[in-house]
Structure 1
Amino acid sequence: MLFSSGRLAKLKYLSGSYEVVTRGDHVVCAVTGQPIPLDRLRYWSSELQEAYLSADIASNRYAAVRAEGRI
């Protein structure tokens, strides 16, 4: 996915939705560092306040953090 323009948004991730804290058009995947356009944002953790590029990345991140005992 190529995405090189725009402004970084800051979000508060809730269970099933999110609130825009600072307007923008994308967020950054907490694992890969890749930008995620807000219109394509589908995966995040309200517990960790992180966004993820895909379901696989989200699932792997959750498993890793759980194994560390952080959640």
Structure 2
Amino acid sequence: MLMSNASRPAKLHYMANGFRVLSPGDHVLCAVTGERIALDALRYWSVARQEAYATAEAATRTLAPA
């Protein structure tokens, strides 16, 4: 039976200039908001934390000093 990647979260390894797909899927979840992010729309992530962010504001909230 073939498995579809639709509606399945991907597992990624985030690198400085991109990411590598470890487990196929069509989206990841924002670490701050829980929002689904399509892989082709993913623009913000943390290499150190290995997390994805839906927006620049979400990334800034997480990465800003307390």
Q: TM range, normalised to the smaller chain? A: 0.7 to 0.9
Structure 1 equivalent of residue 3 of structure 2: none
Tell me the matched-pair count: 61
* SS of structure 2 residue aligned to 1:11: strand
Structure (1/2) with the larger strand percentage: 2
Aligned-pair RMSD on alpha carbons? 1.1
Q: What's the offset of the Cα at 1:6?
A: 1.3
Shift of 1:12: 0.3
Gaps of 5+ in 1: none
Task: Please give the residue correspondences for 1:9-48 in structure 2 after superposition, counting only pairs within 5 Å.
Answer: 9-48=10-49
Deviation digits for residues 37-71 of structure 1 (CA, Å, limit 9, x no counterpart): 001000000000000000111011101xx43xxxx
Q: Which has the higher helix share?
A: 1
Q: How high is the sequence identity, in percent, across the aligned residues?
A: 51
* TM-score normalized by the length of structure 2: 0.86
TM-score, normalised with respect to structure 1: 0.80
